[in-house]
Amino acid sequence: MSFAVLQSDCKKLTNTLDDFSNDELDQILNNDAKIEEIINQAEDIYLKEIQNEKDTVIATNESLAELNLAREPELSEGREKLQAKTEEGEEISKRNEEKLKIIRDKNGDMSLETALAFLRTAASEMEEESDAIAKKFMEEGGDLEDFLEQFLAKRKIMHLRLVKADKMSKILQRGDPSLSNISSYPNSPPLNINSSYFPGIPTSMPPTVVPYPTGPLNMPMPPPYANLNYFQNHY
């Protein structure tokens, strides 16, 4: 029994003696049987209160038990959904790991720097192919429309790869500031070139300017006999 409960019981017992006079209290003090009777009455009241509290607790527990039983189907359904979601998540994670392994096996754990180097090389190769097409057309002539279709297709792919390389280079520079001086294209001239290298490009280019010409392309003109054949065939 805690001290608080004992103190409360003593207070209740003293309250029962408030109605007695001094003479009655003197008689009770000298009468052990009367004292025992008063204590028994107080115990009866205390036991009755405990019984009432017990009945209240039992009724509350029964109500909670009935409520829990009523929610058992909902709880079981939620448990099944959770189990299904857990299994689905494990399956997705497993598939992702398998796909990641396949990508790593194909790429050989290729780093971003390696991918950037390959992208720049591919852009350079595409530029060389377009230059070869232009050179062949200048030397041998041919159909102008076919030349433009092939040449512009190569140039388009080259510029797309250059843009991708430039974006990837900026991403790498955010993670490693030491890469800030890396150009976006391996065959491009340094940024501090003179203005005669590319006409129209200033000596000191702002950071947002890419180190390759972005203006209209000057298409190579066919030799005179090629022009003659073209106009004879089309006009």
pLDDT digits (tens, 9 = 90+) for 113-128: 888 888 899 999 999 9
pLDDT confidence bin for 193, thresholds 50/70/90 = very low
**What does the pLDDT average to over 44-73?**
84
**What does the pLDDT average to over 197-201?**
41
**What does the pLDDT average to over 32-46?**
71
* Amino acid 221: pLDDT: 53
From residue 160, alpha-carbon distances to 51, 53, 57, 163 in Å are 86, 82, 77, 5
Measured N-to-C along each axis, helices 32-70 and 3-15 cross at an angle, to the nearest 10 degrees, of 130
* Amino acid 7: pLDDT: 64
* Amino acid 225: pLDDT: 44
For residues 56 and 143, state if they share a domain. Answer: no
Q: Give 128 or 184, the one with higher predicted confidence.
A: 128
The answer to the question of residue 131 being in a domain is: yes
For residues 46 and 9, the answer to whether their CB atoms sit within 8 Å is: yes
* Amino acid 97: pLDDT: 85
For residues 215 and 200, the answer to whether their CB atoms sit within 8 Å is: yes
* Amino acid 194: pLDDT: 40
For residues 121 and 178, state if they share a domain. Answer: yes
Structure letter (DSSP) for residue 186:
T
* Residue 27 lies in domain: 3-70
pTM, entire model: 0.33
Number of structural domains in the chain: 2
**What does the pLDDT average to over 70-85?**
90
For residues 133 and 215, state if they share a domain. Answer: yes
**What does the pLDDT average to over 183-193?**
42
CA angle 107, 113, 116 (to 5 degrees): 80
Q: Which residue has the tokens 């009523």?
A: 70
pLDDT confidence bin for 17, thresholds 50/70/90 = low
From residue 74, alpha-carbon distances to 20, 67, 78, 84 in Å are 62, 12, 6, 15
Question: To the nearest 5 percent, what fractions of the chain are helix, strand and coil?
Answer: 75, 0, 25
For residues 62 and 142, state if they share a domain. Answer: no
For residues 31 and 119, state if they share a domain. Answer: no
The answer to the question of residue 198 being in a domain is: no
Give tens-digit pLDDT for 1-11: 455 655 666 66
Q: Give 12 or 5, the one with higher predicted confidence.
A: 12
Q: Which residue has the tokens 């279709």?
A: 149
**What does the pLDDT average to over 152-171?**
91
* Amino acid 99: pLDDT: 79
The answer to the question of residue 161 being in a domain is: yes
Please state, in angstroms and rounded to a whole number, the distance separating the CA atoms of residues 191 and 83: 60
pLDDT confidence bin for 234, thresholds 50/70/90 = very low
For residues 32 and 122, state if they share a domain. Answer: no
Radius of gyration of the chain (CA): 48
The answer to the question of residue 76 being in a domain is: no
For residues 118 and 62, state if they share a domain. Answer: no
Q: Which helix (H) or strand (E) covers residue 125, if one does?
A: helix 112-140
The answer to the question of residue 26 being in a domain is: yes
Question: Per-residue pLDDT for 65 more than 80?
Answer: yes
> Count of CB atoms within 10 A of residue 188's CB?
17
**What does the pLDDT average to over 190-203?**
41
